[in-house]
Structure 1
Amino acid sequence: MQNETTKIALLVAVSTLVFLMMPVFLILYIRSYNRHKKNHFLEKQHMQQKFESEMLQTRIEVQDQTMQSIATELHDNVGQLLSLTTLTLNSINLNDGEKAKNKIDNSLTLVSNSIKELRELAKLLHGEQLVENGIGHAIDQEINWLNKAGTYQLKVNNQLVDLQITSPDKDLIILRLLQEIINNIIKHAQAKYIQIDSYLDNGALHLKVSEDGIGFDPDMIKAKKSGMGLNSIYKRIEMINGKLALNSVPGEGTSISIEIPYP
């Protein structure tokens, strides 16, 4: 009988203790949950700030690249056209009517071409041919600038020109990736031939750039953690959950394939 009483008393004591401890555990659980929730919010906020900072940096770099293209075009093309116009006009001999007329006609053609080029540059300044018109048009713009240099044999298959969907943030990053890849080719590759392919397939945007330059050892570049802006390229691709495949062999050129969920 005494053992039964002891067991009942012990059961009551344990039950009471459990009952009293439940609010404590509940309070601790709520505090832990709120702390994790706050940390998650702060982490998410930090990631958002980091993304916005990277987007701002990307936007500045794209604008800087555009301004460099404009400066080059003004110097190499428009400046040359206007210089030729000046030389032609200064060489006019009014006593020779027929030659004077031909030179005036040539000057008018040069001025007309200069105006056409300046209008194209004005569109760039107003951003009309950046990502506002879609990534396909932005890629075309970069290829046109590359083509004007006349240094490379280009083969282009851009299937994104008539793309109806857009993703402004991703478009900006994709444009900057292409700019960085082209800059690397110009600075390091010593290439003569460049092929650029872009298309949309199964909800992913694909961009592939191949060239026949001197190539390099990708493992060595990764080990150095520096060369050719590859770190920046990898970083930006990670921002938009993309994938990059890089193939290069010394003496045999390089190809870079990018796959990005789109939009």
Structure 2
Amino acid sequence: MIGVLLLICTLIILIFIFFNKRKNKLLLDKIEREQAFQEEISKTQIEIQEQTLKNIGQELHDNIGQLLSVANMQMSIMNMQIQEPLKEQFTETKNVVKESLSELRALSKSLNSDVIVNRGFQKSVENEITRLNKLQILSAELEIVGDETLFTNSEDSIILFRIVQEFISNTVKYASAASLLVSLIYKNEHLIIEISDDGKGFEVNSVEKGAGLINMKNRADLINADFNLHSVSKEGTKLQLKYPYREETKLKF
């Protein structure tokens, strides 16, 4: 009798363990499916954003850029006919149009993912820093440590560049900063990107999570990069990204 009871208890325990394992496996499968679904949504959103930015960049270059080019040529012709008292003022206006055309072309290239891939990540960041300094809104500096050839993934380079671009955009729009520093540190296994400004900062835990912050975090998650944003009111903001190198995936936006 005792043997039968022990056998029944053993069977009940085994059945319980079996169903518990099965339940855990089903829960794990569900979590993995949800994570894959969320990752696919994030990837799709980023692809749509990239295509939109590319279209805007092409429109700026092809349409508005063309109009400014025509205006610049016409002003060059008119410059021969302007009387001396107005010569200096006219020349200044012509230079403004020329500079606007140059800035527009630089902006359109920074929006086009194909240009970013062809240039490479580091060169794209360098051009963004140069463009920012030309605007004379603040003083921007780029620091490079290590060998840039360690990083070769063109798809991930677009994502990382957009994160850098978003941080810079937020600094320009909201931080009232005088200076900004971008550091690219190439390690054997990973790339560390550090961006900091000396602006007014904000309380990370209390600030409303706007589209900019969400986009940066989602992009970092998509490429398994550690995302650490630190900001203190009146003490500036700092972002550190730790990106593990991975093989080229050959996906195109």
| TM-score interval, normalised by the smaller of the two chains | 0.5 to 0.7
Report matched runs for 1:1-263 at 5 Å. Answer: 13-68=1-56, 79-89=67-77, 125=112, 127-131=113-117, 134-159=120-145, 162-167=148-153, 170-201=156-187, 203-213=189-199, 215-218=200-203, 221-226=204-209, 229-238=212-221, 240-250=224-234, 253-263=236-246
SS of equivalent to 1:26: helix
Paired with 2:118 and 2:21, the residues of 1 have a C-alpha distance of: 43
SS of equivalent to 2:19: helix
Q: Report the Cα offset of residue 222 of structure 1.
A: 2.3
Instruction: Sort the Cα spacing of 1:256 and 1:22 in 2 relative to 1 into closer, same or farther, 3 A.
Output: closer
Q: Report the Cα offset of residue 46 of structure 1.
A: 0.9
Paired with 1:64 and 1:141, the residues of 2 have a C-alpha distance of: 21
In structure 1, list runs of 5 or more residues that go unmatched: 1-12, 94-109
Paired with 1:146 and 1:63, the residues of 2 have a C-alpha distance of: 24
In structure 2, list runs of 5 or more residues that go unmatched: 82-97, 247-253
Cα deviations across residues 41-98 of structure 1 (Å, max 9, x unaligned)?
A: 12111101111211222333344445555555667765433311123346778xxxxx
Equivalent residues of 1:198, 1:207 under 8 A apart: yes
Q: Report the Cα offset of residue 190 of structure 1.
A: 2.7
Q: Report the Cα offset of residue 225 of structure 1.
A: 3.0
TM-score, reference length from structure 2: 0.67
Paired with 2:111 and 2:53, the residues of 1 have a C-alpha distance of: 11
TM-score, reference length from structure 1: 0.65
Cα deviations across residues 120-177 of structure 1 (Å, max 9, x unaligned)?
A: 968975x433347643344335335434535433221245783234445643432222
Query: What percentage of aligned pairs have identical amino acids?
Result: 18
Instruction: Sort the Cα spacing of 1:132 and 1:177 in 2 relative to 1 into closer, same or farther, 3 A.
Output: same
Q: CA RMSD in A?
A: 3.9
Equivalent residues of 2:182, 2:194 under 8 A apart: yes
Larger radius of gyration: 1
2:87 match:
none
Aligned length: 226
> Given residue 115 of structure 2, which amino acid in structure 1 is its aligned partner?
Q
Paired with 1:87 and 1:236, the residues of 2 have a C-alpha distance of: 44
Paired with 2:155 and 2:245, the residues of 1 have a C-alpha distance of: 11
> Given residue 173 of structure 2, which amino acid in structure 1 is its aligned partner?
K
SS of equivalent to 2:142: strand
> Given residue 24 of structure 2, which amino acid in structure 1 is its aligned partner?
H
Equivalent residues of 1:160, 1:199 under 8 A apart: yes
Paired with 1:140 and 1:161, the residues of 2 have a C-alpha distance of: 15
Instruction: Sort the Cα spacing of 1:248 and 1:82 in 2 relative to 1 into closer, same or farther, 3 A.
Output: farther
